[in-house]
Amino acid sequence: MINEILLNWYDTNARPMPWRIPPADSVNGVRPDAYHIWLSEVMLQQTTVAAVIRYFLAFQRRWPDVHALANADDADVMGEWAGLGYYARARNLLKCARIISSDYGGIFPDTEAELLRLPGVGPYTAAAIAAIAFDRQATVLDANVERVVARLYAITAPLPDSKKSLRGLAGQLTPAKRAGDYAQAVMDLGATICSQKPTCEICPVAANCMAREQGIATELPIKRAKLPKPTRYGIAYIAQRNDGAILLETRPEKGLLGGMLALPTTKWIEAAAIEAPPLDAKWSTLDAPVKHTFTHFHLLLTVKTAHVDMAAAPTRGQFEIPTAATPGKLPTVMLKAYSAGISAIGVE
């Protein structure tokens, strides 16, 4: 019943997305390209649709199928991903593309169980690909769906403890037919009408919603209080050589921002940063540190700059003449430090 109403609503209200098959075509059996669904779903992990569209189109243009992506240079992919955050996703994206290209002949598996074996594909992404790309009866449960289900059934137990029961209820709602469209319908409802501030007056399932009936919609879902995020401290070094080149390095594959182009920095620790300059120079310190928030901590990054001569021999990284493309290859925190540093040091 609820799923039928949502599918009817989706038929006229589906949000257009570049990877999505409109419902009018979907009901006639047109299926989206699994490569597009996988790519978009990996990008959408922890990221909004609005932010993802530009990146999706750029990837699609540059690497139109999974074989093309599998053959791409790591640095090109990491550079194209820069700014999207959660860089482990990009590393896993490449690993997964190479497995699909070499082991599966470029054809994505169509079951949740098989999809789950791929790098970077967790339960949510496996269900989303199985449902949307292959119309499998898979239950998609992201934060939007959790919110909708918690409200429909007035679940007052806090998350994450209530996850299991929310998954069970979401599973009961998932229809055998048009499971892909249903998954997208409920995600769209959560992203638009049943958002943090729900607009129940225009909601297609208002008559079936227990939270609305009880007047507690805006309070749900209840979340267990999180511990405050700790703050870590570090130093980013910007060395400019006489020819204008800037010292950059590729971060180690494992760890935060792994494989990304970056400024040399110290370790990021929950105490005063310990100096680790990449070369001997007369370093100047910018007045204000750069602030950035990661999933598990805040970072205060002091930025130090120095002019060095052509004989400068760094212990790590390499000097590169910055181009118009250089800032776009840097992850957001590095771009903040780079922008602060180059305006202080006078690099164009």
Please list the active-site residues: 41
Amino acid in position 319: F
Q: Which residue has the tokens 């007056």?
A: 201
Residues linked to residue 250 through DSSP beta bridges, in sequence order: 261
Could you tell me which stretch among 7-15, 88-96, 201-209, 264-272 binds ligand SF4 (CB under 6 A)?
201-209
Contact 299, 292 (CB under 8 A): yes
**Candidates 95-103, 148-156, 158-166, 326-334 — which segment interacts with ligand SF4 by CB under 6 A?**
148-156
Q: Is 121 in the site for ligand SF4 (CB under 6 A)?
A: no
**105-113, 144-152, 238-246, 252-260 -> range binding ligand SF4 (CB under 6 A):** 144-152
d(CA 13, CA 204): 11
Q: How far is CA 202 from CA 1, 195, 199, 262, 314, in A?
A: 18, 12, 6, 47, 61
94 in contact with ligand SF4 (CB under 6 A):
no
**Under 8 Å between Cβ of 132 and 42:** no
337 in Cβ contact with 301 (< 8 Å): yes
Among 32, 120, 198, 314, binds ligand SF4 (CB under 6 A): 198
Nearer to ligand SF4, 51 or 206 (CB): 206
Contacts of 293 (CB under 8 A, 6+ apart): 229, 299
Q: How far is the CB of 193 from ligand SF4 (least distance, A)?
A: 5
The answer to the question of residue 200 lying near ligand SF4 (CB under 6 A) is yes
| Site membership for ligand SF4, residue 209 (CB under 6 A) | yes
Tokens, residue 323: 């181009």
- Under the binding rule (CB under 6 A), the answer on residue 211 touching ligand SF4 is yes
Identity at 303, one-letter amino acid code: V
Distance between CA atoms of 11 and 8, rounded to whole angstroms? 5
Position among 178, 212, 251, 329 found at the interface with ligand SF4 (CB under 6 A): 212
CB of 290 to ligand SF4, least distance (A): 39
Closest CB 146 distance from ligand SF4, rounded Å: 12
Q: Which is nearer to ligand SF4, 198 or 278 (CB)?
A: 198
Q: Token pair of 37, please?
A: 């669904």
Query: Is 131 a binder of ligand SF4 (CB under 6 A)?
Result: no
The token pair at 223 is 């979340």
Spatial neighbors of 83 by CB under 8 A, at least 6 apart, are 55, 328, 331, 332, 335
Residue 125 near residue 41 (C-beta atoms within 8 A) = yes
Q: How far apart are CA 110 and CA 212, in angstroms?
A: 37
d(CA 210, CA 151): 7
Mask for 252-291, x = binds ligand SF4 (CB under 6 A): ----------------------------------------
Among 6, 66, 152, 186, binds ligand SF4 (CB under 6 A): 152
Asked if 203 touches ligand SF4 (CB under 6 A), the answer is yes
Q: Which part of the chain contacts ligand SF4 (CB under 6 A), choosing from 28-36, 52-60, 180-188, 190-198?
A: 190-198
Alpha carbon distance 19, 53 (integer Å): 9
Residue from the set 49, 51, 206, 300 that interacts with ligand SF4 by CB under 6 A: 206
Q: Map residue 255 onto helix, strand or coil.
A: coil
Nearest approach, Cβ of residue 319 and ligand SF4 (Å)? 55
- Sorted by sequence, the CB contacts under 8 Å of residue 313 that are 6+ apart come out as 279
Kindly tell me which of 92 and 165 has the beta carbon lying closer to ligand SF4. 165
Stretch that binds ligand SF4, among 11-19, 194-202, 252-260, 338-346 (CB under 6 A): 194-202
- Least separation in angstroms between residue 31's CB and ligand SF4 is 28
Report the alpha-carbon distance of residue 315 to residue 281 in Å, rounded: 12
User: In whole angstroms, how close is the CB of 253 to ligand SF4 at the nearest point?
Assistant: 43
Binding positions for ligand SF4, rule: CB under 6 A:
148, 151-152, 193-194, 198, 200, 203, 205-206, 209, 211-212, 217
